[in-house]
Structure 1
Amino acid sequence: MNTIDTIHLSPWREIAAREARFGYGLQRPQRNVLSRLWHLYCTLAAKRRSRLALEELSPHLLKDIGLTETEARREAAVPFWR
């Protein structure tokens, strides 16, 4: 018996791995209001952080990703709720 044969996931981890692999189960309607609000906050904060990081990129790096300085500044100026 080798090491691979001895490793077994718990039943709950197997279900979670299967759901993650096939993409279903990611949207859980049974989540409470606070959980949904926290998820919304995290999503908006991540967007804002990426926009602020875009604003700090040098012209050389912006050219690498196919943006002009004007486009990057315009995107960085977008409010967090959009």
Structure 2
Amino acid sequence: MGTIGTIQLSRKRGAGVAASASKRKPGSVGAFVRLWRAYSALASRRRSRLALGELSAEQLKDIGLTEAEARREAAVPFWR
């Protein structure tokens, strides 16, 4: 099974969890879910920027960025 298949399976599994959580009292789990989603987004941005900062000049050229642009983006704090 490839990566795409794994991603699709994990989305299907997560859908059942979200559906069962929505049957609870309003606000009981919603705040936690929103907090978790915000954390996940921030962590994803951080990982992406760290990876961007590690690319070589040739790799950056392949994706159409200069070294200065990549270093500038990698230096942006994760909360922005």
Instruction: Output the TM-score relative to the length of structure 2.
Output: 0.64
1:73 Cα deviation after fit? 0.3
RMSD: 2.1
Of 15, 37, 57, the residue aligned with 2:55 is 57
The list of structure 1 runs, each at least 4 consecutive aligned residues, that deviate by more than 4 angstroms after superposition, is none
Q: Secondary structure at the match of 1:57?
A: coil
1:68 & 1:52 partners in 2: Cα distance? 16
- Matched with 1:24 is none
Q: How many residues align?
A: 57
Question: Which whole-Å deviations, capped at 9, do the CAs of 1:8-61 have from their partners, x for residues lacking one?
Answer: xxxxx7xx6xxxxxxxxxxx8x76101100000001100110000000000000
Segments of structure 2 that go 5 or more residues without pairing to the other structure are: 1-11, 16-21
CA offset at residue 79 of structure 1? 0.5
> How far, CA to CA, are the matches of 2:78 and 2:63 in structure 1?
22
What letter is aligned with 1:72? A
- Identity percentage of aligned residues: 66
Question: Highest Rg: 1 or 2?
Answer: 1
For structure 1, the 5+ residue unaligned runs are: 1-12, 17-27
Distance in 1 separating the partners of 2:78 and 2:53: 14
Q: Which has the higher contact order (CA 8 A, sep 6+)?
A: 2
